[in-house]
A and B are shown apart, each in its own frame.
Chain A
Amino acid sequence: MISTREKVFNYAFLSLLAAAVLFPVAWILGVAVSPNISGTLDLGHLQWSNFTQAWQQAGFSHYLKSSLIITGTAVTLSTVLAILSGFAFGVLGVVGEKVLFPLLLLGVMIPTEAIIVPLYYDFQSEGLIDTYQAIILAHVGMGVSFGAFWMRAAFRAVPASIGESAQMDGANSWTSLWRIYLPIAKPAVMTLILLSFMWTWNDYFLSLILVSDPAHQPLTLGLGAFSGRYMVHVNLLAAAAVIISVPVVVLYLFFQRQFIRGMLSGAVKG
């Protein structure tokens, strides 16, 4: 049915678009391994030591520690809260659901910007600014809405008969959640974990405002500080940028489907 000409056109067209999208990424990768500090591409003399140098000069070791602590804790807590609240809405039903669920959904439409200023002052008055607790709490709180929405849909997709048979067997809600429902909803949980990992890891705005102490700042802020500070070695800056992006990109490499499905959830039908 499809002519060769059409095929060639398709490939050419897609390749052109892919090249356009890839250009900035490829360029930064190239600069990251070039020896020239002013950022000129020089792929004839690859300098892999840029990565270790950037790592040391930007002090990434302790930023990485913060990023891991923040992301690890926030993702774990978010996931647990999402499972519990999704189970509540999706399976058990909740007193006042008609009010509570929309109220929770409202959170997804309130942009971070609308609440960040009062949140900052609240945390400040509680002495929480510059602590891991504050930034983790903020991430978890802002993830509640999506998590509840997402897991509610996932648990609803579990056939009612399965839940009922569990109930007949005398399983209480707690056991049936963890033994019956969760294993079935595992793919959804997986996607949720990937997405919250990405959102937390990639965050800049929340951390910029809530964490001013470099000792507790994540990598994204470390990059900001590195790019605006003192010596400007573009190749090292590029190397640092690459380092930060690697974890999410690698995950995306292996879990492309989950990422895309999750981020397009609306269209793919909950």
Chain B
Amino acid sequence: MVSRRRTGRIGIMLVPVAMTALLAGCMPGTDAGTAGNSVSSGPVSTDPATMGNITLQVLDSFSGGTDNAWMTSVVSAFEQKYPNITIKRTSLPWGDVMAALPLKLKSANPPDIVPANNGWQSLGTLVRGGLVLNLDNYAKAYGWKQTFPQSIANEHEFSTDGKQMGTGSMFGAPVARASVIEVYYNRALLKRIGAGIPSTLADFQADLAKAKSAGVNPISLGNVDQGGITEPLFSLMDSLGSPADIADFVYSHGLVNIDRTGFPKAVSTLKQWSDKGYLTKDYAGVAAADAAQDFVNGQGLFHFDYSGSLPLKAGQSKNFGSFVLPRADGGKPVATASSAANFSVSAKSKHADAAAAFLNFAAGTQAAELAVKKGTMPLLHPDVKAPAGDPLFTDDVAIAQRLSVDGASVPYLDWSTPTLLNTINTTMQNMLAGKSTPSAVVSAARQNDAAFVKTLAR
């Protein structure tokens, strides 16, 4: 009988709920204005000194370590040069920035400069929503398209209707710092197994075999939290596929089939490595961060990771070196690389001129020099030199130089759809555990891409 009373009450409850539903109106932000992404016709100013007293709000994801050290030094150098401009930074962890960005840009008072990630996960969606400024006028005024390597500049371009990536107008700009997927190696272990730095993929795989038979863990890798897989996978793809095809696949949607990118072969090669025991034992149960730590602790010959992400203590970097995974055909190595951040300007910014001036400064020579001074990989300025005494960093700077000179970089594969990263991470785990085949990974990626292309056309 008690229950009857309760159900009766539930009935009564529904009345006010229904009433509130009628009154509640809609959710803030579900209506977006039409995107106006064309370039403004007015003149732009490129001399910050004449802009009067301005405060720029900058959101960035350089929240710790050398990231933060570099950004802080760039900001203070800029403020010193242009005392009339004050920069107010807010720094958040990367994942949080990505989650919060759309709403921050829609708010009444958005930051002037935001670190939207390249690709469809973030920047592409923002362009479609008309939330970031078309920077073509500034690109022209500052000569960005001439000074930036084309492969890097492309990474910040979208068509004004927001349906094409890697072409059209610049909706963001790179900074003079790189983020590259590279291979770290342990100098002592490489010597112990009697191997040298590989110059082809075959050499590299020979090193893996040598390490294995010498009882050395060939590749330190951990995958329990779904991390750690795209680094070797994209490296292999860059080694096996043609850079032009990879870029075309990421940018042009559907015109290039993923089969042509080296992706299928990369997937099956990684599976072979796993089968041959080239990866950390029980890697499926090891956290990615633990694998990096294990590598630094000497438990692994190689480790695939982003530049500057080894958990090194002072004095440890002399034990390690880095290179880009060599190409299968022995050609110039190609790396998955981009600027460490894409900085875009809010469409609502009242200080677009000043914001663009800061973007230009953050991509300039001084910013690159500050990068090497703070021990982080420079970009766009191949002439800056690494300070002596840190062999690992010397390797890193050499890689960055080649990127800027040769333009031998490709965009991140996962930029091509908002959900491809998730698809790759889960299907790769399935495949590596023997629950599915490499071709299942490839077809899942293909389907993911096709589905997204369909929504783009809408």
Report A's interface with B, CB cutoff 8 A: 38, 98-99, 102-103, 106, 118, 121-122, 124-125, 127, 129, 212-214, 225, 227-233
Contact, CB under 8 Å: A232 / B290: yes
Binding site secondary structure of chain B: helix
Q: Which residues 13-57 in B have Cβ within 8 Å of A in the complex?
A: 13, 15-17, 27-29
Contact, CB under 8 Å: B29 / A121: yes
With A99-B12, A228-B289 as given contacts, are A213 and B107 in contact (CB-CB < 8 Å)? no
Contact, CB under 8 Å: B103 / A232: no
Residues of B contacting A232 in the complex (Cβ-Cβ under 8 angstroms): 287, 289-290, 292-293, 311
Binding site secondary structure of chain A: helix
Tell me if B387 is interfacial: C-beta within 8 Å of chain A. no
11 further A-B pairs in the complex, CB-CB below 8 A; given A102-B13, A232-B293: A118-B27, A124-B103, A124-B107, A125-B107, A127-B108, A212-B93, A212-B99, A213-B90, A229-B64, A229-B289, A232-B292
Tell me if B76 is interfacial: C-beta within 8 Å of chain A. no
With A230-B65, A232-B287 as given contacts, are A99 and B13 in contact (CB-CB < 8 Å)? yes
Tell me if B2 is interfacial: C-beta within 8 Å of chain A. no
CA distance A106 to B225 in the complex (A): 36
Count residues of chain B with CB under 8 A from any CB of chain A. Answer: 35
Sorted nearest first, the 3 A-B pairs with minimum C-beta distance are: A212-B96, A125-B28, A124-B103
CB distance from A221 to the nearest CB of B (A): 10
8 A-B contacts, Cβ less than 8 Å apart? A102-B13, A106-B13, A127-B109, A212-B96, A213-B92, A214-B93, A229-B64, A233-B293
With A230-B65, A230-B289, A231-B293 as given contacts, are A103 and B103 in contact (CB-CB < 8 Å)? no
CB distance from B72 to the nearest CB of A (A): 16
Tell me if B458 is interfacial: C-beta within 8 Å of chain A. no
Residues of A contacting B109 in the complex (Cβ-Cβ under 8 angstroms): 127
Residues of A contacting B90 in the complex (Cβ-Cβ under 8 angstroms): 213
Contact, CB under 8 Å: A125 / B29: yes
CB distance from B312 to the nearest CB of A (A): 9
When C-beta atoms are compared, the residue in chain A nearest to B65 turns out to be A230
Contact, CB under 8 Å: B27 / A121: yes
With A212-B99, A212-B100 as given contacts, are A102 and B311 in contact (CB-CB < 8 Å)? no
CB distance from B82 to the nearest CB of A (A): 27
Contact, CB under 8 Å: A103 / B13: yes
CB distance from B23 to the nearest CB of A (A): 14
Contact, CB under 8 Å: A230 / B311: yes
With A230-B289, A230-B311, A232-B287 as given contacts, are A102 and B10 in contact (CB-CB < 8 Å)? yes
Tell me if B4 is interfacial: C-beta within 8 Å of chain A. no
Residues of B contacting A231 in the complex (Cβ-Cβ under 8 angstroms): 293, 311, 313
CB distance from B59 to the nearest CB of A (A): 11
Residues of B contacting A228 in the complex (Cβ-Cβ under 8 angstroms): 225, 287, 289
CA distance A129 to B102 in the complex (A): 13
Tell me if B257 is interfacial: C-beta within 8 Å of chain A. no
Residues of B contacting A99 in the complex (Cβ-Cβ under 8 angstroms): 12-13, 15-16
Tell me if B63 is interfacial: C-beta within 8 Å of chain A. yes
Contact, CB under 8 Å: B12 / A98: yes
Contact, CB under 8 Å: A212 / B10: no
CA distance A212 to B92 in the complex (A): 7
Tell me if B9 is interfacial: C-beta within 8 Å of chain A. yes
CA distance A125 to B107 in the complex (A): 6
Contact, CB under 8 Å: A121 / B28: yes
CB distance from A176 to the nearest CB of B (A): 29
CA distance A102 to B90 in the complex (A): 43
Q: Which of B100, B225, B293, B297 contacts A124 (CB 8 A)?
A: B100
Residues of B contacting A212 in the complex (Cβ-Cβ under 8 angstroms): 92-93, 96-97, 99-100
CA distance A124 to B29 in the complex (A): 10
Q: Which of B13, B90, B225 has the most CB of A within 10 A?
A: B13
CA distance A228 to B225 in the complex (A): 10
Contact, CB under 8 Å: A125 / B13: no
CB distance from A222 to the nearest CB of B (A): 12
CA distance A231 to B312 in the complex (A): 8
CA distance A259 to B414 in the complex (A): 48
CA distance A230 to B288 in the complex (A): 10
CB distance from B95 to the nearest CB of A (A): 8
Contact, CB under 8 Å: A214 / B92: yes
CB distance from A224 to the nearest CB of B (A): 10
Interface string of B255-294 (1 = CB under 8 A from A): 0000000000000000000000000000000010110110
CA distance A103 to B18 in the complex (A): 12
Q: Which of A124, A125, A214 contacts B63 (CB 8 A)?
A: A214
CA distance A30 to B131 in the complex (A): 52
CA distance A231 to B100 in the complex (A): 27
Interface string of B385-424 (1 = CB under 8 A from A): 0000000000000000000000000000000000000000
CA distance A227 to B289 in the complex (A): 9
Contact, CB under 8 Å: B107 / A127: yes
With A214-B92, A229-B289 as given contacts, are A125 and B103 in contact (CB-CB < 8 Å)? yes
Contact, CB under 8 Å: A103 / B289: no
Q: Which of A98, A102, A233 has the most CB of B within 10 A?
A: A102
CA distance A60 to B400 in the complex (A): 36
When C-beta atoms are compared, the residue in chain A nearest to B296 turns out to be A231
Contact, CB under 8 Å: A103 / B16: yes
Residues of B contacting A229 in the complex (Cβ-Cβ under 8 angstroms): 64, 289
CA distance A230 to B93 in the complex (A): 13
Interface string of B89-117 (1 = CB under 8 A from A): 01011001101100110111100000000
CB distance from B6 to the nearest CB of A (A): 9
Q: Which residues 93-151 in B have Cβ within 8 Å of A in the complex?
A: 93, 96-97, 99-100, 103-104, 106-109
Residues of A contacting B17 in the complex (Cβ-Cβ under 8 angstroms): 103, 106
Residues of B contacting A103 in the complex (Cβ-Cβ under 8 angstroms): 13, 16-17
With A99-B13, A118-B27, A213-B92 as given contacts, are A129 and B100 in contact (CB-CB < 8 Å)? yes
CA distance A98 to B92 in the complex (A): 47
CA distance A22 to B290 in the complex (A): 26
Residues of A contacting B12 in the complex (Cβ-Cβ under 8 angstroms): 98-99, 102
CA distance A129 to B17 in the complex (A): 26
CA distance A212 to B64 in the complex (A): 15
Contact, CB under 8 Å: B297 / A38: yes
Residues of A contacting B311 in the complex (Cβ-Cβ under 8 angstroms): 230-232
Residues of B contacting A127 in the complex (Cβ-Cβ under 8 angstroms): 107-109
When C-beta atoms are compared, the residue in chain B nearest to A125 turns out to be B28
With A212-B92, A214-B93, A228-B289 as given contacts, are A121 and B103 in contact (CB-CB < 8 Å)? yes
Residues of B contacting A233 in the complex (Cβ-Cβ under 8 angstroms): 293
Q: Which residues 64-101 in B have Cβ within 8 Å of A in the complex?
A: 64-65, 90, 92-93, 96-97, 99-100
